């Protein structure tokens, strides 16, 4: 007999149904044809992993902020370099008057 495989989306849907507490675990297990013990494992795993969702989100935001600040710093450096070059060109061409 081949083992059933469930998608993460399906497991999430079932766990959210459990957390609503509108039905008993036995009812949900019966409706989906899944053993109650398996549902308990999914629920426990889901709840233990929840904090990681927010940590990942914060890490993503921090990385985006760091990338943005690095790009901004590089752009300011480039503007400074171009400004210096422009001043030098103006001075050498005689356009620039002090």
Number of domains in the chain: 1
Q: Which strand (E) or helix (H) includes residue 15? A: helix 8-20
Residue 3 lies in a domain: no
Residue 1 lies in a domain: no
Residue 98 lies in a domain: no
pLDDT digit string, tens, across residues 56-89: 777 888 889 999 999 999 999 999 999 999 988 9
Residues 40, 25 contacting (CB under 8 angstroms) = yes
Count of residues for the chain? Answer: 98
Residue 2 lies in a domain: no
Residue 46 lies in a domain: yes
Residue 31 belongs to domain spanning: 8-93
CA distance 69 to 62: 10
Residues 43, 19 contacting (CB under 8 angstroms) = yes
The b/e string for 66-78 (b: 16+ C-beta within 10 A; e otherwise) is eeeeeeeeeeeee
Residue 45 lies in a domain: yes
pLDDT at 97 over 70: no
Residue 30 lies in a domain: yes
């Amino acid at each position: 007999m081949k083992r059933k495989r469930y998608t993460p989306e399906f497991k999430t849907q079932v766990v959210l149904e459990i957390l609503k507490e509108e039905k008993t675990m036995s009812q949900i297990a019966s409706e989906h044809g899944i053993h109650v013990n398996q549902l308990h494992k999914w629920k426990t795993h889901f709840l233990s992993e929840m904090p990681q969702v927010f940590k990942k989100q914060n890490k993503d935001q921090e990385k985006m902020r760091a990338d943005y600040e690095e790009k901004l710093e590089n752009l300011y450096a480039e503007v400074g370099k171009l400004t210096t070059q422009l001043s030098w060109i103006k001075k050498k061409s005689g356009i620039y008057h002090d």
